[in-house]
Structure 1
Amino acid sequence: MKKFFLSVCILFFSASIHFSQTTPMFVTDSLDNYVLRGMKNWEIPGMAVLIVKDGNIIVSKAYGVKELGKSDLADENTLFLIGSNTKAFTGTALALLEQEGKLKLDDKVIKYIPDFKMKDPWITNDLTLTDIVTHRMGYETFQGDFMFWASDLTADEVIEKLGSTTPKFDFRTKYGYTNAGYAIAGKVIEKVSGLTWSNFLKEKLFKPLKMFRTVALSVDFSKSDNTAKPHTKANNQIIVLPFENIDNMAPCGSIGSSVSDLSHWLIAQLDSGKFEGEIKIPFEVIRRTRKPETIIGRARRLYNEGHFNLYGLGWALTDYEGTEIVSHTGAVNGFLSSVTLLPEENLGIAVLTNSDANSLFEMLKWEIVDSYLGLPYRNYDQVAFNRSLTRENQITELIIQWQDSVKMDIKPQIPLSDFAGKYKHEVYGFAELELNGNSLLLKLEHHSNLTAKLEYIGSNRFLCTYSNPTYGIKVFPFETEDGKVKSFTLFVTEGLDFQPYKFIKY
């Protein structure tokens, strides 16, 4: 299967190329080899690359296949989920409504959603529209995402449960990437415009920019033709993931697009909102989305110089070797993407991949940026790949140790059947543990498509293996008192949520 996949990558790709005299040699001579080598290293089934410079599409091409093991090639019109690159569209929607005089970004959230509540009444009354989309609500990065992502909750239930979650930090004191804040923004857009978030984007952005294949909702992505399939790495091999509906959090990450459509978005972003000679997005709107609102921290670069990282309305803002970079990345259910603008260089880059187990989507971007800035070639992707091997080996060794503990067939001091039963988390709701031979089966109230196998490894700890490998393999500690089980603590992979979730026996 792997030999077939590599043959496809090497022999076939769909391309649209327009080199100019100022196009760097890396792009003209080395891009294909760099991409194909990276795809081989990371075992990426398919990807697409876009470079826009001075209003021209320099590169718009796809490599590889839409689905591992199949011969259907990706092309420049193939749809990939772009994950959190959705946020710039949502931020632009808010700025458009402000420009039209229909809202102000300094307005309080409760002006539009009167029943919204945070645990602290003062925050409830003071929380603004800017706060919810610039990651300064007080939550830790990804806090709450386990409860919300790919769950059965509605958008309204997501918003209610977010408000019931105690922020880890004080309000407006620290950057904490809060996906669910964008769910609130989607509801505000709906209330103010009279259109659903998805229809607003379609009418105000996709149609004017002739992004006719782009879809706002994951459910529409699943029904579209010419779509890439999601992949991840599990048990040291790339696998196809089942489709998941993420539309309860749509405004933070559900758009599906192609490099062909995204070229229109990048051209408008780099030409003061103009596309095909006409203003499609007012420049004041574009400028508003790039206004720094939240301090992320100091910029750390592998080789070159940068000083700060800031956040606007769905865009990350930074300096790099004396020039401004406006960018974002996206990670969602088997896809990774990056979108990058260098306004002073009139340069735009997009990289889309149908695997969530790679760094090529970002490393290629930096290689292209450096080539246009006249900086030395660094081979970023090989450096990242070598580091990933070290991390992967460490994680694999730890999991093997845990699995070896399972094989020891250690017996708990309390009967295994006593661990079974119903448990409750104060915000999420219920979890059920069912006795299943020598293990326990975890079922979650709001995740009907997710289960997990819990196997005893000693000291009141169980090894948890989720049915969906993107949730990780984790160890759950249980609390006991006087021979009775009191609670357990649930963990998922840090790429989804850093927080522990304590479920108390009900």
Structure 2
Amino acid sequence: MKKILLCIFSLSILSTTTQAQNANRTKFIADSLQAYISRALTNWRVPGAAVCIIKDNRIVLMKGFGIKELGLNNKVDENTLFMIGSNTKAFTATAVATLAAERKLSLDDKVTKYLPDFKLDNKAATDLLTVRDLLCHRLGFQTFQGDFTFYNTNLSRSEIMSKMALMKAPYGFRTTWGYTNSAFLTAGEIIPKVADQNWDIYLKEKIFAPLGMSNTLGLSVAMQKAFNRSAGHTISDNRLMAIPYANLDNMAPAGAISSTAVDMGKWVMALLNEGKVGNKQVIPQAAIAATRQPQDIVGTNEHLDGSKNFQLYGLGWFLEDYHNHRLVMHDGGVNGFVSSVTLVPEENLGIVILTNTDQNNLYEALRWEILDAYLKLPYRNYSDAYLKEYKSYTAEQGAADKKLRDSVALNPRPALSLSYYEGKFTNPLYGTVNIQRGDNNDLDMRFEHHPKMYARLQPLGANRFYVTFSDPILGKAIFPFTVQNGKVTGFKLKVADFVEMGAYEFKRQ
């Protein structure tokens, strides 16, 4: 799943450059990059990372850095598993495009041809929806819409697809790009209808095994049993901590794959060689070409040097022009991990960056640092520039959160007795939550589809409550309750944008 944790929209242009590095920028890769990464891991508080660089069919760098888990002296190596999140999408899109190249389906087939019970919130969109639409995020939904309901929950794949009919699209069908993880799940569920194999088995037999990706795992449940695996980490209340692996198998085609620097290097090498491994055509060239054809305009991407470029989306890939070079790229993020994969086909260059914390922009900084070195662009020290913005952002968020906690510490009384806020509340998409008295002057919220999770609600005065989730990924929030005629009728739920950007209206059952 592509979860955009840190959105840095503008960064000041650095005036400092290193003349020696500018004179021969490729020396940065051989002479300075590993020291740069090691220093950046410390500055960003990233426990571990793995990096692979491929240039002209040659592995330039294949190395693990740091440790697999905080507090343990277990070093990351090139075969250590990381969850790759939404970098899974390129595998799903390539698998579907392969079936199209083999004429087992068409990308312009109607989805209902394979999933006759599938529905969106309006009949016209349902009738027009194609396989291609699923793979390029143009269903009319807001980015991440529905993910709080679907992501890391106990819903099955069929239940998620059924619930998509309850999602009210804020935009017209095919009018606006909106990143939709459940659409990629749906695309993945077409594979067994055509190939008579589940998504993960098809990927293993048609992509992983032929490419020699022997350590790559299709399902998140397998990560917990793997030997050489990294733990995911996050930062909560300024404390770096290891966290449980997310259960992503109900959304597997959107983001469940775990892989290594070695295996991802084999994937990238094949993609740069138009699907060939040696003389063997493993992935049809037509399938690779199909995934790189622009389908939608995402927006404008502004870079550290002030340049602005349109960002497009193909099938499972972002597409961008960067200093007259075409980039094929994607980021991925799930609980505890963020990663990036970047291809520059004309330069025969591929970059893989895997990290085991979801609170860093190092994965992005490294991409641009390596690209700029190969493209002979000035050195800009992206890591320090991004870190400065990150620290400023987190300081602002910390100060705002401290004000809320200080308000809670004053024990403000809610407008009504706490018993008035207790009970069951429902949302048409999510389902039911139950609120009951907790410890002291608090309320406790339990979730139908997050059975292991709870939230603590502390009064802020009036009908507002300060909310902390047991899962730190969901962040902290303020839940306002609505009151009519002296009775609590509902509340508004909001989780971190990392999970879902919109809010949910819950009504008393």
CA distance in 2, matches of 1:304, 1:431: 46
Secondary structure of the equivalent of 1:458? coil
After TM superposition, where is structure 1 displaced by more than 3 Å over at least 4 residues in a row? none
- Please tell me the residue identity of whatever aligns with 1:157: E
Residue 189 of structure 2 corresponds to residue 195 of structure 1: no
Residue 119 of structure 2 corresponds to residue 122 of structure 1: no
Aligned to 2:380: 378
- Deviation string 1:418-442 (CA, Å, 9 cap, x unpaired) is 1010000011110100111311111
How far off is 1:301 after superposition?
1.7
Residue 142 of structure 2 corresponds to residue 150 of structure 1: no
Structure 1: tracts of 5 or more residues without a match: 1-21
Q: Does the C-alpha gap of structure 1 residues 306 and 397 become closer, same or farther in structure 2, counting only changes over 3 Å? A: closer
How far off is 1:280 after superposition?
1.0
**Contact kept? 2:414, 2:464, Cα under 8 Å:** no
Residue 440 of structure 2 corresponds to residue 442 of structure 1: no
- Deviation string 1:457-499 (CA, Å, 9 cap, x unpaired) is 0120000100011100100000001110000110000111011
* 209-218 vs 268-277, greater mean Cα deviation: 268-277
Secondary structure of the equivalent of 1:384? helix
Secondary structure of the equivalent of 2:481? strand
Secondary structure of the equivalent of 1:183? helix
Residue 505 of structure 2 corresponds to residue 502 of structure 1: yes
Secondary structure of the equivalent of 2:210? coil
- Deviation string 1:258-313 (CA, Å, 9 cap, x unpaired) is 01011111111111111133211111111011011111122322216453111111
Paired residues for 1:8-407 under 5 Å: 24-303=26-305, 305-407=307-409
Percent sequence identity is: 44
CA distance in 2, matches of 1:168, 1:427: 15
Aligned to 1:488: 491
How far off is 1:206 after superposition?
0.3
CA distance in 1, matches of 2:471, 2:413: 27
How far off is 1:23 after superposition?
8.4
Aligned to 1:478: 481
**Contact kept? 1:78, 1:228, Cα under 8 Å:** yes
Secondary structure of the equivalent of 1:307? strand
- Please tell me the residue identity of whatever aligns with 1:241: I
Aligned to 1:423: 425
**Contact kept? 1:330, 1:338, Cα under 8 Å:** yes
- Please tell me the residue identity of whatever aligns with 1:246: L
**Contact kept? 1:306, 1:321, Cα under 8 Å:** no
**Contact kept? 1:304, 1:321, Cα under 8 Å:** no
CA distance in 2, matches of 1:355, 1:448: 24
- Please tell me the residue identity of whatever aligns with 2:408: V
How far off is 1:224 after superposition?
1.2
**Contact kept? 2:177, 2:297, Cα under 8 Å:** yes
- Deviation string 1:379-405 (CA, Å, 9 cap, x unpaired) is 011000000111001100111111111
- Please tell me the residue identity of whatever aligns with 1:189: I
Secondary structure of the equivalent of 1:223? coil
**Contact kept? 2:415, 2:461, Cα under 8 Å:** no
**Contact kept? 2:119, 2:164, Cα under 8 Å:** no
CA distance in 1, matches of 2:40, 2:208: 32
* Structure possessing the higher relative contact order (Cα contacts under 8 Å, 6 or more residues apart): 2
**Contact kept? 1:306, 1:319, Cα under 8 Å:** no
**Contact kept? 1:142, 1:497, Cα under 8 Å:** yes
- Deviation string 1:115-163 (CA, Å, 9 cap, x unpaired) is 0111101111111111111010000000110000000000111111122
Secondary structure of the equivalent of 2:398? helix
CA distance in 2, matches of 1:48, 1:271: 23
CA distance in 2, matches of 1:390, 1:304: 20
CA distance in 1, matches of 2:423, 2:291: 49
- Please tell me the residue identity of whatever aligns with 1:356: D
Taking structure 1 as the reference length, the TM-score comes to 0.95
- Please tell me the residue identity of whatever aligns with 1:190: P
**Contact kept? 1:247, 1:254, Cα under 8 Å:** yes
Secondary structure of the equivalent of 2:100? helix
CA distance in 2, matches of 1:24, 1:177: 35
**Contact kept? 2:68, 2:76, Cα under 8 Å:** yes
Secondary structure of the equivalent of 1:430? strand
CA distance in 2, matches of 1:408, 1:134: 49
**Contact kept? 1:272, 1:283, Cα under 8 Å:** yes
- Deviation string 1:355-377 (CA, Å, 9 cap, x unpaired) is 00100001011000000000010
Q: Does the C-alpha gap of structure 1 residues 167 and 90 become closer, same or farther in structure 2, counting only changes over 3 Å? A: same
Structure 2: tracts of 5 or more residues without a match: 1-23
- Please tell me the residue identity of whatever aligns with 2:480: P
CA distance in 2, matches of 1:346, 1:243: 34
How far off is 1:40 after superposition?
0.7
RMSD: 1.0
- Deviation string 1:162-199 (CA, Å, 9 cap, x unpaired) is 22110111111111000110110111011111000000
CA distance in 1, matches of 2:367, 2:92: 23
**Contact kept? 1:462, 1:476, Cα under 8 Å:** yes
